[in-house]
Structure 1
Amino acid sequence: MGELLRNSASFSIISNGLGCRYQSCSQSRGRNGVCSRRFRGCFFVGSVMKAYRRHVVQCRRNMVWMPVHQCAWFGHFRKKMSPLNFLFGSSRIVPKMVASIESEMDCEDDEENSLIQKGKEEFELDSLGQNLPPWGNLVVDESLDFEHTSTGQPAISSNGKDTVHDSKVHFLEERNEEELSRRVLMLSRSNKVRSALELCRSMKLSGLQPNAHACNSLLSCLLRNGRLDDALRTFEFIKTNELITGHTNSLILKAIADTQGCDAALAMFAELEGDHEQKKRFDVIVYNTALSICGRLNNWVETERLWRRIQQNGYSGTQVTYSLLVSIFVRCNQNELALDAYNEMIRNGLEPRDDTMHAMISACTKEEKWDLALSIFQKILNDGLKPNPVACNALINSLGKAGEVRLAFKIFDIMKSLGHTPDAFTWNSLLGALYRANQYADALDLFERIRKQSSLVNVHLYNTALMSCQKLGLWDRALQLLWQMEASGLLVATASYNLVISACETARKPKVALQVYDHMIHQKCVPDTFTHLSLIRSCIWGSLWAEVEEILNRVPENVSLYNAVIHGMCLKGKVESAKKLYMRMRKNGLKPDGKTRAFMLQNLRKDQFKVKRSSYHSR
């Protein structure tokens, strides 16, 4: 320090694009051991520091002896400034000094040397004294962490970006915290990450503090630019200084969910919620953020818990809150909870959003509440919105299951007027509605229109048409549809052949049913129990007993088939054959059903009565 004050010196300060170069002229002894020196100053304007002399001023500067470990590059003696963690708590920051002083002049006379040496002895090494320099008192917090790190190599965060370690500290002429906070806000909005960080650090070093709005903007800027490590340190600083708001918590929770996963974000939320002091700064927006994170995981259990917590803490859910609740519950097939959330939303006087109403239509149709679904659909139309095809299909299907055929076709007409193209689900819902309403002929007419106008005909549509043929006994139409299915390249399953055989059974066409059965085997389609039951009933009504016996011998023993044959034989008066088959059935360990036992008991009683009568007449 003595070497600095003994020599005439010049130094440069660079700030905000302005260059200022000072050169000492003389020095004199002040009171309290303060050395007053006179400087001539030249200001240079521009980022390249052009050599244009604006004016020359003479000014007097009061210089204070500072501890050596707090100075940097004084004269030829260089001492690195200890890194001071003054902003982000546990972070380790190595500030760079802006100004440097170079020794340029030779030593002055011995009188000045003696004054300087005497002044040096009067001041302690660790004290700055009462006379402060123009930039204020630089206070060293002994509780903060220190790290001896080379300033030539800036630290790198885990995401590969430069962290706040490489920031600088500036002399702040402005002392108004609101004005400085506004500057931090503008820098953050402009994505000037380094400048915003440097300004915040300079404010902290000067004993100033940015407001909550500026801190949130800085945090958002850091997250926007992928500076998660710096953002977490900033978040800890905000919490420590009680500047945290609901928006702060929402920002950091979203960042954790995006970078470390939704489980980590929910764990952080639980930790914040468990802290009584931090919970005071919660609002419904924070809970909305947590709900959206639960939605990513489809975690309806945690979603319901958060919903109850919102109610217990006295918060009023917003439109976004209920939209999240309804969509999550519907996706997780918790339709009752979705209905409860929607009803609570209406009670609170909130207007449901478009997506909420569409999700509610789906929930109502699954719970068979077609009247509520219809009213929501009408509200969408009244609001000037356009229901999507999924909502239209769900409502048509629900109305069809409820037997409201007229309303189903009315929704279909509205769907077409909105410009939506009917798909296979739409047609299947309409055909199903007609079939359930016992309008089988109308169903077949609609199927023919669909088949001619659309290429969306699938197995489900064919099967619905075959069921209508079965009810009407249109075996020839059923055969025609079966050939069309095979010709179109569709995979004809066992269920389709069963419907055709059943149509032949209804029409009392056992020989046609046997031909369909043989064709089915030829197509390598495996028949099931329903196939054999329909075929046996058809043969019984046609009195084709040899074919019935052949079927029983061909297929594995099945109690349902034996019961069906015994019933048919009894009804046709073939009691002896039924008794033999019954004995065969019991011998093979098959247990007859109640109807079969009733038939056998009835016929056994008749036989016993006949035996008694014959014995009485013989006497």
Structure 2
Amino acid sequence: MLTVPSSSATLVLSNSFGCSLNHKTSINCLVYANLFSGFHRFRNSVHFRVLISTVEHGFVLGHGLDSCIESFHDDDDDYDDDSDGDEGRFSRIRVSGRNLECGSSYLKQSFDDDDDGGGGDDDDEGRFSRIQDLGRNLKGGSSNLKQSLTVSRAGEDKVVYLEERDEEELSKRILSLSRTNRRTSALMLLRSMEMSGLRPNLHACNSVLSCLSRNDMLDDLLRVFAFMKRSKILSGHSCSLVLKAVAKHRGSDTALQMFSEWDVKSEMSLHFDSVVYNTVLSICGKENNWVQMKKIWKSMKENGIIGTIVTYRVLVCTFVRCGQYEIAIDAYNEMLKNELEPGSGSDAMHAIIGACAREEKWEMALSVFHSMLKCGLKPNLVACNALINMLGKAGKVNEAYKVYKHIRSLGHVPDSYTWNALLVAFYRAEQYTAALQLFDSIQKDLNFRPSSYLYNTALMCCQRVRYWEKALQFLWKMEKSGITVSTESYNLVISACETARKPKIALQIYEHMTFKKCIPDTFTHLSLIRSCIWADLWDEVDIILDESTPNVSLYNAAIHGMCLRRKFESAKKLYIKMRDIGLVPDGKTRALMLQYMRKRT
């Protein structure tokens, strides 16, 4: 049995637990000895007042009281009033009562049973046995209680008495708590400052918003933001944090609606800066909402806000992704007008090259390409291929070849699209021999993968320069490599033989084509008919016409050739046959036959 004669101890218990205990009360619990020895020395300190508030709010109860008072007692000898020490003690108070909050009402009822402050040892022992039982019962439910501390309003509804009145010092503590993810303590300290009429600085408030956003505590975040609006502690970064959190938890439409409401309110729009607009544009970009993005971009310019690299990167990439290439180019031009360097925004540069390719603006695309090289960026292979193809269409074969040379220096490996784009560029520039030389070098490349596109482009060049032997070699390589040879490929080889005046070779290819069960088309028969006419192979012409499906183009071509070779009788017979099967000759064919009839008369 321990008798406590100190009246100061009675005062401590009276203030701590909301009851009046007689100074003659006998206490049979070691926790009271710790309580009196600690509070007797600290009753006028900040720790005493913090503990009083924490007990009143249900922080320190039952078995958690021992560790709490022990921490106060151990800190007595080396006590100093620096911020780090107070913060550590405040943390221990919170941790000590973390598992016992739900027992506050029961404990208060236990102490309120003795209304007149009297009672003997048996009553006190009974009360403290109930406290110990309560602590044991709560220990098993610590996991549920810990979860309850993370719910909304867990920290905001609690306040502590603040002996420290320096707003900057308290703001530093809030900042430290938020950075270490101690969200409940940060909220409680912020709420305590609000109730005490103190004003935290902007940095601390934004740190709390960021902490709550990380922990998905949207309701608490919105309440803190409302306090910031009331206290006029706002910045663009604050608005950006709120918009991001709302978009994450309630969807982009809700976030955009919130931004629209702010935009109407002049006092809120005063805080809008490029950070806020970049956040809203990013929200639109994730949903590919280019219409709303265009409106926000227009509003941004009307409010005199100059965009950043992030702004134009989001604009360009989203507009290109949505197929709005012209608007994307306008955004890029505005970026250059504002004297902004692309920096590390390679995704935007690639997107603008693709947009220029769609709009056939090769000069801008080439300028963007050189800008990327100048900034130390590496254009990807897709952008290089698009640029080569674009330059080839514009007839800028030298520039296209220079871009091709850059591909290997950038560490890329050319693929079939690269080579085909360059071959087509040479073909369009009528540099057929150079194209064939390039194709020969491509075939020696270790990364060469045969494709019908590459071979067909090479065959087109062979046709133009009458390289029928090389065309046959390419056809043989195609079949050997396992590529399915199409009718178009056979037609190109036959056409090369036609231009080289090799009709018999063309007929052999035709026979090989039918042997491979490749169905000839009108272009195949036209090329064969022209070849046979120039070689005076009239029987072969008749065979081709009989084997093919009746076609007005074939008969017209045969009649024209016969007339040019002065085979008027054969042309007349074929003309009559043509009319008999219901084919209508074209104007040139009728004119040739009328001219022949006049000569006959």
Fold conserved between structures, TM > 0.5? yes
- Is 1:424 paired with 2:416? yes
- Distance in 1 of aligned mates of 2:435 and 2:14: 93
Asked whether the 8 Å contact 2:459–2:471 carries over to 1, the reply is: yes
- Distance in 2 of aligned mates of 1:11 and 1:558: 113
- DSSP 3-state at the match of 1:486: helix
Which sits farther off after the overlay, 529-538 or 259-268? 259-268
**Aligned equivalent of 2:473, options 466, 475, 480:** 480
- Distance in 2 of aligned mates of 1:72 and 1:398: 73
- DSSP 3-state at the match of 2:184: helix
Q: 1:102 corresponds to which residue?
A: 111
Instruction: Name the amino acid aligned to 1:304.
Output: K
Using the TM superposition, give the Cα deviation of residue 22 of structure 1 relative to its aligned residue in structure 2, in angstroms. Answer: 10
Residues 54 and 368 (structure 1), Cα distance of their counterparts in 2 relative to 1, 3 Å cut: same
Cα displacement string for residues 7-28 of structure 1 (whole angstroms, at most 9, x for unaligned residues): x7864999xxxxx9997567xx
**Where in structure 2 are the equivalents of 1:135-154 lying within 5 Å?**
none
Q: 2:437 corresponds to which residue?
A: 445
Using the TM superposition, give the Cα deviation of residue 180 of structure 1 relative to its aligned residue in structure 2, in angstroms. Answer: 3.0
Q: 2:283 corresponds to which residue?
A: 293
Cα displacement string for residues 162-197 of structure 1 (whole angstroms, at most 9, x for unaligned residues): 412443432332344443333222211111122122
- Is 1:433 paired with 2:425? yes
Instruction: Name the amino acid aligned to 2:111.
Output: E
**Aligned equivalent of 2:518, options 522, 525, 541:** 525
Which sits farther off after the overlay, 256-265 or 322-331? 256-265
Cα displacement string for residues 485-505 of structure 1 (whole angstroms, at most 9, x for unaligned residues): 111122322222221121122
Cα displacement string for residues 252-306 of structure 1 (whole angstroms, at most 9, x for unaligned residues): 3333444455455444444444555533432222221222233323343333322
Q: 2:361 corresponds to which residue?
A: 369
- Is 1:558 paired with 2:560? no
Q: 2:37 corresponds to which residue?
A: 53
Residues 545 and 309 (structure 1), Cα distance of their counterparts in 2 relative to 1, 3 Å cut: farther
Residues 153 and 530 (structure 1), Cα distance of their counterparts in 2 relative to 1, 3 Å cut: same
**Aligned equivalent of 1:567, options 557, 560, 564:** 560
- DSSP 3-state at the match of 1:220: helix
- DSSP 3-state at the match of 1:102: helix
Residues 590 and 414 (structure 1), Cα distance of their counterparts in 2 relative to 1, 3 Å cut: same
- Distance in 2 of aligned mates of 1:386 and 1:451: 27
- Is 1:164 paired with 2:152? yes
Asked whether the 8 Å contact 2:178–2:207 carries over to 1, the reply is: yes
- Distance in 2 of aligned mates of 1:57 and 1:50: 11
Instruction: Name the amino acid aligned to 1:316.
Output: I
Instruction: Name the amino acid aligned to 1:563.
Output: N
Using the TM superposition, give the Cα deviation of residue 380 of structure 1 relative to its aligned residue in structure 2, in angstroms. Answer: 3.3
Q: 1:455 corresponds to which residue?
A: 447
- Distance in 1 of aligned mates of 2:522 and 2:360: 32
- Distance in 1 of aligned mates of 2:39 and 2:255: 59
Using the TM superposition, give the Cα deviation of residue 358 of structure 1 relative to its aligned residue in structure 2, in angstroms. Answer: 4.0
Residues 59 and 178 (structure 1), Cα distance of their counterparts in 2 relative to 1, 3 Å cut: closer
Q: 2:51 corresponds to which residue?
A: none
Asked whether the 8 Å contact 1:431–1:446 carries over to 2, the reply is: yes
Asked whether the 8 Å contact 1:579–1:600 carries over to 2, the reply is: no
Q: 1:507 corresponds to which residue?
A: 500
Q: 2:388 corresponds to which residue?
A: 396
Asked whether the 8 Å contact 2:150–2:184 carries over to 1, the reply is: no
Residues 292 and 527 (structure 1), Cα distance of their counterparts in 2 relative to 1, 3 Å cut: farther
Instruction: Name the amino acid aligned to 1:456.
Output: F
- Distance in 2 of aligned mates of 1:267 and 1:578: 79
Q: 2:532 corresponds to which residue?
A: 539
Cα displacement string for residues 535-573 of structure 1 (whole angstroms, at most 9, x for unaligned residues): 332333333344434444444443333333333333233
Overall identity of the aligned pairs, in %: 52
- DSSP 3-state at the match of 2:111: strand
Q: 2:215 corresponds to which residue?
A: 225
TM-score (norm 1): 0.70
Cα displacement string for residues 329-385 of structure 1 (whole angstroms, at most 9, x for unaligned residues): 333343332332222222222222342444434433444433333333333333444
Unaligned runs of 5+ in 1: 1-7, 15-19, 27-42, 61-69, 74-93, 110-150, 612-619
TM-score (norm 2): 0.72
- Distance in 2 of aligned mates of 1:557 and 1:156: 85
Unaligned runs of 5+ in 2: 1-9, 24-29, 45-55, 60-100, 119-141
**Aligned equivalent of 2:403, options 407, 411, 418:** 411
Q: 1:148 corresponds to which residue?
A: none
Q: When you count strand as a share of all residues, which structure comes out higher?
A: 1
Instruction: Name the amino acid aligned to 2:396.
Output: E
How many corresponding residue pairs? 509
- Distance in 2 of aligned mates of 1:58 and 1:429: 84
**Aligned equivalent of 1:182, options 172, 187, 210:** 172
- Distance in 1 of aligned mates of 2:413 and 2:392: 19
